[in-house]
């Protein structure tokens, strides 16, 4: 919102409030022990390391002994496909492993609309980029010798449509639709439920369902999930007697992070562009569902009683209905009470009543 001042000067209230919120969040982060890896900046500091990735991936894929991944190469996360105009995709972490796996790891804090579509669309771009890079290492230029050239052409035909294994790992801080447990592996299957290809998989974690206590953490997979979920609110993270995990924890200590990166984290935590889009979506949906109902009821009451107060009450009820619809949608998506209160403007007691009502239905 912009306010017009004297002499043609305007003041952007929204931007000013955002800057104030970022500064306040920055000061709060500095008082914490760790930066929160559930946000993009903290996640990359925590995980974007060759040894941390190897340990995490071996846990995710349950690889042991000779099958364990022994090295990974972190790659440029930016992908640009060219249609009539370039279409950019920015991944959180993209890497290739020594066993031939192409890996994309995404930390998803905000609940996006059309989540499944987003996973598929992003994976298509990731798969095309992985195929292109894989071809560069397997296709040799044609030599002048005809016999040698035929061998290369034969190999080209053999691998023309061959793709490397491409696995997308999504770590979600919201309720994942149609997934019962905290961990799910999704694939492309036919009508009979048979997997079409083992080379394409989506491994999705729902941190809202990950409730294991510290004494029940046994695997590397669970250790990393536990740390990701709890780092932002913990003062003393366990390293599980693992040097790789100990170094990862050390990287997210607030005292070891530059002020510039802390400000990036604060900006990330106030509202990402994606969260702003999601909030606008919630408001629009609430506008259509709650505001119209509240205003209509208020107007009817005002007409029946012949008083303007009825209309005013209706407008107030409409605004309250809108806030409640936003709160319901956010609670259904697994957002925290703190976040719901901040965005909806409702009191915590109102939100708890709404939550209890949802859970009893």
C-alpha span between 101 and 123 (Å, rounded): 14
pLDDT at 305 over 70: no
Residue spans per domain, the chain:
22-270, 274-360
Tens-place pLDDT, residues 200-215? 999 999 999 999 999 9
C-alpha span between 108 and 112 (Å, rounded): 9
β strands within the chain, DSSP E: 2-4, 10-12, 72-75, 78-82, 86-90, 93-97, 102-108, 166-172, 183-187, 200-206
Percent of the chain with pLDDT over 90: 54
Report which listed range, 14-23, 100-109, 315-324, is most confident. Answer: 100-109
CB 34 within 8 A of CB 45: no
Tens-place pLDDT, residues 77-118? 999 888 888 888 999 999 999 999 999 999 998 887 889 999
**Average pLDDT rounded to a whole number, residues 12-16:** 53
CB 94 within 8 A of CB 103: yes
Lowest mean pLDDT across 283-292, 296-305, 320-329, 341-350 = 296-305
**Average pLDDT rounded to a whole number, residues 235-242:** 96
pLDDT at 181 over 60: yes
Point out which residues pair with 11 in neighbouring strands: 3
pTM value is 0.75
Angle at 212 between CA 103 and CA 270, to 5 degrees: 65
CB 13 within 8 A of CB 55: no
Instruction: Work out the burial of residue 272: count CB atoms within 10 Å of its CB; fewer than 13 is exposed, 13-18 middle, 19 or more buried.
Output: middle
């Amino acid at each position: 919102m912009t306010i017009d001042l004297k002499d043609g000067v305007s003041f952007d209230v929204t931007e000013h409030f955002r800057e104030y919120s970022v500064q306040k969040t920055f000061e709060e982060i500095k008082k914490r022990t760790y930066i929160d890896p559930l946000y993009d900046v903290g996640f990359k500091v925590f995980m974007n390391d060759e040894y941390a990735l190897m340990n995490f991936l071996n846990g995710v894929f349950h690889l042991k002994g000779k099958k364990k991944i022994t090295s990974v190469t972190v790659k440029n996360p930016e992908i640009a496909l060219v249609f009539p105009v370039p279409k950019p995709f920015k991944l959180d972490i993209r890497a290739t492993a020594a066993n031939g796996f192409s890996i994309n790891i995404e930390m998803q804090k905000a609940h996006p609309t059309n989540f499944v579509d987003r996973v598929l669309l992003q994976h298509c771009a990731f798969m095309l980029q992985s195929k292109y890079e894989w071809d560069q290492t397997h296709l040799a230029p044609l030599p002048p010798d005809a016999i040698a050239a035929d061998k290369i052409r034969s190999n080209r035909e053999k691998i023309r449509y061959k793709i490397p294994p491409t696995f997308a790992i999504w770590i979600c801080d919201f309720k994942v639709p149609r997934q019962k447990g905290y961990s799910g592996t999704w694939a492309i299957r036919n009508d009979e439920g048979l997997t079409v290809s083992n080379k394409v998989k989506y491994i999705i974690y729902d941190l809202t369902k990950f409730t294991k206590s510290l004494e029940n953490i046994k695997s590397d997979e669970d250790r990393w999930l536990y740390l990701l979920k709890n780092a932002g609110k913990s003062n003393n993270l366990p390293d599980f007697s693992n040097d790789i995990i100990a170094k990862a924890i050390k990287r997210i200590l607030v005292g070891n992070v530059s002020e510039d990166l802390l400000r990036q984290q604060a900006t990330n935590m106030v509202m990402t562009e994606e969260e702003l889009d999601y909030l606008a979506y919630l408001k629009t949906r609430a506008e259509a569902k709650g505001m119209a109902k509240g205003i209509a009821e208020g107007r009817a009451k005002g007409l029946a009683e012949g008083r303007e107060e009825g209309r005013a009450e209706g407008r107030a009820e409409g605004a309250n209905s809108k806030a409640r619809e936003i709160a319901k949608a956010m609670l259904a998506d697994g957002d925290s009470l703190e976040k719901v209160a901040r965005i909806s403007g409702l009191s915590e007691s109102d939100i708890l009543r709404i939550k209890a009502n949802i859970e009893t239905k």
